[in-house]
Structure 1
Amino acid sequence: MGKTCSMDPEKGFHEVHIEDNIEVIPCKRKIELYNAVVEEREDFTVEAEVLREVTSTKNTILHVAAKSGNMKIAKKIIDFDPSLLHEHNSKGDTPLHIAASLGHLDMTNFLLSQHQHMTVPLVMITNESNETALHGAVRNGHKKIAKKLIEKDPSLTSLRNKDGESPLFIAVDRGFFDIAEYILDNKECCEYRGSKGRNILHAAAIRLDEKFMEKVMDKFPKAITEEDDFGWTPLHYAAHFGEEELVKLFLNRDIFLAYKQNNEGMCALHISAKKGHVDVMGMFIERCPYTCQLFDKSHRTALHLVAESGHTKALKIFFKNRKFAFRDLMNEQDDEGNTPFHIAAANRHYALLMSLADRIIMSNLERHNVLWSLDTMVDRQTIKVKNPKAEGTGAANSSEENGKKDKEDDNKKAKEEKKDDIKDLANFNLVVATIIATVTFAAAFQVPGGTGGDGLANLREKGTFVKFLIYDSLAFGFSAVSIFANFAYPFLAKATRITYPIMFSLVLTEFSLICLVLAFIEGTRSVLTENSWLPEVVYASLFPISFFLVRPIIVRKTFLFSSRKLPCT
């Protein structure tokens, strides 16, 4: 059974259950002993009743000593009970595993020296991950300890853990090339494979160490052609990371590596094209041109992947030195019927799309489908294409669905922007209309020429004064209705078929502004002599102003009673 504890509050004891044994251990003494080991105190004494006790992670007192690196305490423990050397904790680690992983060189040497107490070689004992102490030392970059363990038993370099990782692979994968080189230089036969079917060349390609690569290929020439669980060779990884020198190194060793395809049918050119590594692509196209004709499992060429990723510079590589050799790739369709042109349009890669359009050679049907695809998927502000309005192929139909979705997103965004613009216009219009209403309201009670004792206007008999009152009243009325429309337009837009109620309000404000100017002119004329030239000058200056005020009204009249709905409602 598992380990459980219960405490007697009067005696301060713990009842400890370990497997099928039940012991009563003095809890305080156990804690003191543990602390003494951790703190490396000289007053440490070995007691048989607590020596076999373990922590919650099943570490014995020797495991704790190995963690701290205290050899004096470890020696006392081993002298009293050597069997603790082989004890495992909850992860299956022995004290040697812990000492090697933590880099305690002296403790490791001491534990290895206790061979007289061992029935099984301590270095060969594995934990639950099937790892020896060497795996832990290498994983944590402890070169001196790794060398000591290899000297003790060179066969350790051939053992793989539960994930299939050898010490050599772990060293390369973690970037500890000094340890990896030591293993390569001092061991004739060692395991070089790792997890997920990878070998040390896969790991080295990821870690990008060229010098080490050459040493590995000299010792393990077959490693360069081996594929991992995903079908990737070391060349695939070099192409993925865009390492031109590594790619050159691999191709110099075996040019046919360029034609090997992974589980998805992608060769190294496909991968470099997808990532947009121009220099690597250029090397493949120049040295291995047939790779351009290879299809992945979706029947896509490298050009399809360039169109999908949108790397314009990568596209130019196809036509740089072999301008006419790859023209046929422009019309190649994948399993869904899409050419590179369709894919570029669907992904809205406009710069690449225009570059493709400059080079494309098509039949009438293909040209027709591509133009149709452009019209449905590409922003017309960027590329102007007239819709032929004809049926397309399966690729075009697929593109139409994508295009409609993109168009809906664009329309939604445009509506939101239109809504914000209308709100700003409404706020501005409300301020202007309010000012006009305030001015005209005040002018109605402070008339030109003043009032007599009876409260009547002194100039009420003059025609110009009557005109002043008419224009002033109209200006006030228009501005008042405009203010009302500003408050009511959200409801009017939903209840009526008026397209832009706010535009209607704006027109009223413009009328009120015109009437305000006319009221000013007539009010001025009413207090001047009959032959004064000032009103004529003011009227003359009104004409250019009126043009800019009236023109928007004429233009917007078509919006006032349109059957379309307001985008923001």
Structure 2
Amino acid sequence: MEEGTPMEGGIQNGPEIQIVISPELITPSCDLLSGEARDKYLDICITLYQAALKDDWNAAKGVIEIFPTVVRSSITQGCETALHIAAAAKRIHFVEELVGRMNREDLELLNSNGNTALCFATAAGTVRIAEVMINKNERLPMIRGSQGMTPLYMAALLGHSDMVWYLYKKTKSEDLSDDDRIGILNTCVSTDLYDVALDILNHHPQLAVARDRDGETTLHVLARKPSAFTGGSRITR
């Protein structure tokens, strides 16, 4: 799959995010269902959708100037906003411009699977997009996505080292439970992010013998990874 090419679905076990792209599957948002806006709905949302995919800010700007509330509207069947779509497609410039026209709370909007646009950026692995969002709303790292996963856990699960380090610094430790920490720790070990795992253990040494929800300690996870004992670790910092 080419970088930034969305397909149908949600967050997958890989670096790409997949979202609905068929215009016929797009469903209207409540604030676009009255008056003249109703007649123009498809033109508005399809134009914005395609602009987000193509990083065409000029086209998006034209729509937003006429219908300012479209920046917080759901424009896909999965209830994604333009920000979700641009984040999934790794469109940095588009995200920068769009976030500049959104309220802080708009960045907390969830799609039908319960994921914020930051969750999409996390799965895509684009740190700059995550930075833009969190600079606007520092609460985002602690807004959980599908299955109750934090963005940090998602990044660790997908093995995005740079994103993990960024979110690790932006996620408030006091807002994480011990279950969260051991889950992140064991996931970092599982995805060869040993530098993050070591830092977690340095700050929370009690986790060395803690068990995750599957009843496993970090040693159990390490025992399944021969590369951890043969110089194959990915220590980057």
> Taking structure 1 as the reference length, what is the TM-score of the superposition?
0.32
The 8 Å contact of residues 154 and 187 in structure 1, kept in 2 or not, is answered as: no
Please list the CA deviations of residues 478-534 of structure 1 after superposition, one character each: whole Å capped at 9, or x if unmatched.
xxxxxxxxxxxxxxxxxxxxxxxxxxxxxxxxxxxxxxxxxxxxxxxxxxxxxxxxx
Q: Report whether the alignment pairs 1:64 with 2:53.
A: no
Flag the 1:124–1:211 CA change in 2: closer, same or farther, 3 A.
same
- 1:136-215 matches, cutoff 5 A: 136-189=120-173, 199-215=183-199
What SS does structure 1 have at the residue aligned with 2:69?
Answer: helix
What SS does structure 1 have at the residue aligned with 2:146?
Answer: coil
Match of 1:102 in 2: 89
Distance 2:214 2:229 in 1: 24
Q: Report whether the alignment pairs 1:135 with 2:151.
A: no
Distance 2:204 2:40 in 1: 49
The 8 Å contact of residues 129 and 161 in structure 1, kept in 2 or not, is answered as: yes
- 1:171-320 matches, cutoff 5 A: 171-189=155-173, 199-242=183-226, 245=229
Distance 1:196 1:153 in 2: 22
What SS does structure 2 have at the residue aligned with 1:121?
Answer: helix
Residue 234 of structure 1: CA displacement? Answer: 1.9
Q: Report whether the alignment pairs 1:83 with 2:72.
A: no
What SS does structure 1 have at the residue aligned with 2:148?
Answer: coil
Match of 1:478 in 2: none
Distance 1:157 1:225 in 2: 27
Flag the 1:198–1:98 CA change in 2: closer, same or farther, 3 A.
farther
CA RMSD after TM alignment: 3.3
Please list the CA deviations of residues 32-62 of structure 1 after superposition, one character each: whole Å capped at 9, or x if unmatched.
xxxxxxxxxxxxxxx967531279xxx5432
> Match for 1:52: what amino acid?
Y
The 8 Å contact of residues 143 and 150 in structure 2, kept in 1 or not, is answered as: yes
The 8 Å contact of residues 141 and 170 in structure 2, kept in 1 or not, is answered as: no
Flag the 1:234–1:191 CA change in 2: closer, same or farther, 3 A.
farther
Flag the 1:203–1:18 CA change in 2: closer, same or farther, 3 A.
closer
> Match for 1:228: what amino acid?
D
Residue 242 of structure 1: CA displacement? Answer: 3.3
The 8 Å contact of residues 201 and 207 in structure 2, kept in 1 or not, is answered as: yes
Residue 136 of structure 1: CA displacement? Answer: 0.6
What SS does structure 1 have at the residue aligned with 2:173?
Answer: coil
Residue 128 of structure 1: CA displacement? Answer: 1.4
What SS does structure 1 have at the residue aligned with 2:216?
Answer: coil
Flag the 1:90–1:227 CA change in 2: closer, same or farther, 3 A.
farther
Flag the 1:79–1:160 CA change in 2: closer, same or farther, 3 A.
same
Identical aligned pairs, as a percentage? 22
Aligned residues: 198
The 8 Å contact of residues 125 and 160 in structure 2, kept in 1 or not, is answered as: yes
Match of 1:121 in 2: 105
Please list the CA deviations of residues 64-106 of structure 1 after superposition, one character each: whole Å capped at 9, or x if unmatched.
2211211111111011111211221211210011111111111
Residue 166 of structure 1: CA displacement? Answer: 1.0
Distance 2:174 2:54 in 1: 32
Distance 1:167 1:60 in 2: 28
- Structure with higher Rg: it is 1
The 8 Å contact of residues 166 and 192 in structure 1, kept in 2 or not, is answered as: no
Please list the CA deviations of residues 156-193 of structure 1 after superposition, one character each: whole Å capped at 9, or x if unmatched.
11121121211111111111111111222344437667
Flag the 1:244–1:178 CA change in 2: closer, same or farther, 3 A.
closer
Distance 1:160 1:49 in 2: 33
Residue of 42, 65, 69 corresponding to 1:53: 42
Flag the 1:245–1:212 CA change in 2: closer, same or farther, 3 A.
farther
> Match for 1:172: what amino acid?
A
What SS does structure 1 have at the residue aligned with 2:132?
Answer: helix
Residue 198 of structure 1: CA displacement? Answer: 6.3
- Structure 2: 5+ residue stretches without partners: 1-26, 231-237
Flag the 1:107–1:242 CA change in 2: closer, same or farther, 3 A.
same
